[in-house]
Amino acid sequence: MARKFLIALTVVVWTLALTEMTRADTLTIHIEDVHVAEGTLMLQVMGSTAEFADEAPATAAFQQKAQKGPMSYTVTLPPGTYALRVMHDVNDNGKLDANFVGIPSEPWAFSNNATGNFGPPEWSDVQFIVDGDTTQQLKLNK
């Protein structure tokens, strides 16, 4: 009898562990203020400092023709720590244009609406936790 109980308990514990390992949550990303319906909106979801530093591919990446007004994306992710980077490539040249001193001349945003001082924000400023359904509300700079 005790052996059957231990076997049943082991099955329940393994089932719960496997369920937790394969759990996925929804991250909804709202971009509030696309000013023009020109070019492409590019979004990256990064799950590590290496991804944030462009030393590894992003966890997820999206490109969509820009539409004036709000735009939204939804992605399913395992629970964890993530960051977002958005760029509105208005002239569709595949890069974030900048002026002669390196200040971006096209709209951009990071998660938590973080901004950097003399460069992009730090990982600690842009990271957020996905544990259950999560929403990030972003406002484009520029």
Closest of 127, 130, 111 to residue 24, by C-alpha? 130
What percent of the chain is predicted at pLDDT more than 70? 85
Q: Where are the beta strands (DSSP E) in 15-101?
A: 25-34, 40-46, 60-65, 69-77, 80-89
Mean pLDDT, range 112-123, rounded to an integer? 92
Q: What pLDDT, in 10s, does the model give residues 74-91? A: 999 999 999 999 999 999
Q: What is the pLDDT at residue 45?
A: 98
Q: How confident is the model at residue 8 (pLDDT cuts 50, 70, 90)?
A: very low
Residue 121 CA to residue 142 CA, distance in Å, equals 16
Mean pLDDT, range 114-142, rounded to an integer? 94
C-alpha to C-alpha distances, 134 to 28, 34, 70, 97, nearest whole angstrom: 6, 22, 18, 31
Q: What pLDDT, in 10s, does the model give residues 11-61? A: 444 544 444 556 899 999 999 989 999 999 999 999 999 999 999 999 999
Residue 142 CA to residue 130 CA, distance in Å, equals 28
Structure tokens at 16: 């719960």
Stretch (H or E) spanning 138: strand 134-138
Q: How much of the chain is in helix, strand and coil states, percent to nearest 5?
A: 20, 40, 40
Question: Does 12 or 92 have the greater pLDDT score?
Answer: 92
Residue 108 CA to residue 82 CA, distance in Å, equals 18
Q: What is the pTM of this model?
A: 0.81
Question: Does 56 or 2 have the greater pLDDT score?
Answer: 56
Q: How confident is the model at residue 9 (pLDDT cuts 50, 70, 90)?
A: very low
C-alpha to C-alpha distances, 9 to 17, 18, 22, 23, 139, nearest whole angstrom: 12, 14, 20, 21, 49
Residue 137 CA to residue 30 CA, distance in Å, equals 5
What are the strands of the beta sheet with 69-77, ordered from one edge?
Answer: 69-77, 25-34, 134-138
